[in-house]
Amino acid sequence: MLIMGIESSCDETAVSISRDGREILSNCVVSQIDMHAVYGGVVPEIASRKHIEAIAALAERALSEAGIRRSELDAIAVTYAPGLIGALLVGVNFAKAAALALDIPIIPVHHIRGHIAANYIAFPELKPPFVCLSISGGNTLIIDVRDYTDTRILGSTRDDAAGECFDKIARVLGMPYPGGAALDKMSESGNPKAFPLPRSRVDGAPLDMSFSGLKTAALNIIHNHEQKGEELNIPDLCASFISAVQDTLVPRTMAAIGKTGYKTLAIAGGVAANSHIRAAFEAQCKKQGVTLYMPPLKLCGDNGAMIACQGYYEYLAGNLAGQELNAIASLPVERGSYQK
């Protein structure tokens, strides 16, 4: 079955063609990062306009790289939630128009389920159930993946997403947007114990997380140094910050593994590219006999292949849409299965 996967929930326009879910024939991405870098973050209005400019040509490129004709497509999968509403609408409306023209079904895909599915592409042997930690610029979630289309939240951040904190601290330190990768690189020579940053807990919800206090504490250190005219050891601060994020993510995720009784952990989302976080999970999983899956870096960020892959499983579950499909800015992953 040939599926076109479309992703436009934030600042990447992406189109991919897949066969039977896990075989990727093409995976084309146009990033808008340079446009938004000037403003230090994503400007929703610009994001929507750039998606409109890119999407039709990108779809043609995805077909040509896959070596197939439009008429061979069996369905169009598209991210319909969650994300920037104007950005999502571009992908959703393109998918609706293409599905109407080609007389094929539309498969609405929840963005987070797409990130989980990046692991199915990278690891053909991976099957639910497993625990997935999804860490990106917009969310931080520990998910019980009971089945391909049955996903329940075990723990989540109560405030900022981990990636959002990376980006904010990096921006204040003068690194280009999005700063996660630069902050990661900067931390290489730093001492993770140099700054005693907080590891917050949520009372009564041991698997939930909070990052806003950590972000504020790191920002206060930067501002205090500035005000006093003292030189700040930036690698030390970056390493200390990452260490605090790691100490928040790793024990909770491992506790979720204990709670479900599963022996498999998958990690998804842009922050999964972080070298320290990857190493910490590798070490902990080895110690506890848990099989760990981490997609390669190119599948960690937003892409169309993950949407096409998840789209295949949504199709098998019968989660299809017609021309009534609308985009939804905020939708919990539990309710990710599209219902007409």
10 binds ligand KG4 (CB under 6 A): yes
Task: In angstroms, give the least distance from the CB of 107 to ligand KG4.
Answer: 20
SS3 of the chain: CEEEEEECCCCEEEEEEEECCCEEEEEEEEECHHHHHCCCCCCHHHHHHHHHHHHHHHHHHHHHHHCCCHHHCCEEEEEEECCCHHHHHHHHHHHHHHHHHHCCCEEEEEHHHHHHHHHHHHCCCCCCCEEEEEECCCCEEEEEEEECCEEEEEEEECCCCHHHHHHHHHHHCCCCCCCHHHHHHHHHHCCCCCCCCCCCCCCCCCCCECCHHHHHHHHHHHHHHHHHCCCCCHHHHHHHHHHHHHHHHHHHHHHHHHHHCCCEEEEECHHHHCHHHHHHHHHHHHHHCCEEECCCHHHHCCCHHHHHHHHHHHHHCCCCECCCCCCCCCCCHHHCCCCC
Question: Which residue do the tokens 């042997």 mark?
Answer: 125
Task: In angstroms, give the least distance from the CB of 295 to ligand KG4.
Answer: 11
CA distance 238 to 264: 30
Please list every residue from 12 through 71 that binds ligand KG4, using CB under 6 A: none
CA distance 298 to 168: 23
163 binds ligand KG4 (CB under 6 A): yes
167 binds ligand KG4 (CB under 6 A): yes
Count of residues interacting with ligand KG4 (CB under 6 A) = 19
**Candidate list 140, 240, 274, 310; residue touching ligand KG4; CB under 6 A:** 274
Looking at beta carbons only, is 104 or 170 nearer to ligand KG4? 170
137 binds ligand KG4 (CB under 6 A): yes
Pick the piece of the chain touching ligand KG4 (CB under 6 A) from 175-183, 228-236, 248-256, 309-317.
175-183
**Candidate list 301, 304, 311, 336; residue touching ligand KG4; CB under 6 A:** 301
270 binds ligand KG4 (CB under 6 A): yes
319 binds ligand KG4 (CB under 6 A): no
CA distance 139 to 162: 7
Please list every residue from 190 through 229 that binds ligand KG4, using CB under 6 A: none
Say how many C-beta atoms besides its own lie within 10 A of residue 188's C-beta: 11
Looking at beta carbons only, is 31 or 68 nearer to ligand KG4? 31
79 binds ligand KG4 (CB under 6 A): no
Task: In angstroms, give the least distance from the CB of 72 to ligand KG4.
Answer: 30
302 binds ligand KG4 (CB under 6 A): yes
Task: In angstroms, give the least distance from the CB of 151 to ligand KG4.
Answer: 16
**Candidate list 82, 269, 304, 336; residue touching ligand KG4; CB under 6 A:** 269
160 binds ligand KG4 (CB under 6 A): no
Q: For residue 296, which phi and psi values (nearest 5 degrees)? A: -60, 155
Looking at beta carbons only, is 91 or 270 nearer to ligand KG4? 270
Pick the piece of the chain touching ligand KG4 (CB under 6 A) from 36-44, 62-70, 145-153, 159-167.
159-167
Q: Which residue is nearest to ligand KG4 (CB)?
A: 270
248 binds ligand KG4 (CB under 6 A): no
82 binds ligand KG4 (CB under 6 A): no
108 binds ligand KG4 (CB under 6 A): no
Instruction: Count CA within 13 A, CB hemisphere, residue 151.
Output: 30
Chain contacts with ligand KG4 (rule: CB under 6 A): 10, 136-138, 163, 166-167, 178-181, 184, 269-271, 273-274, 301-302
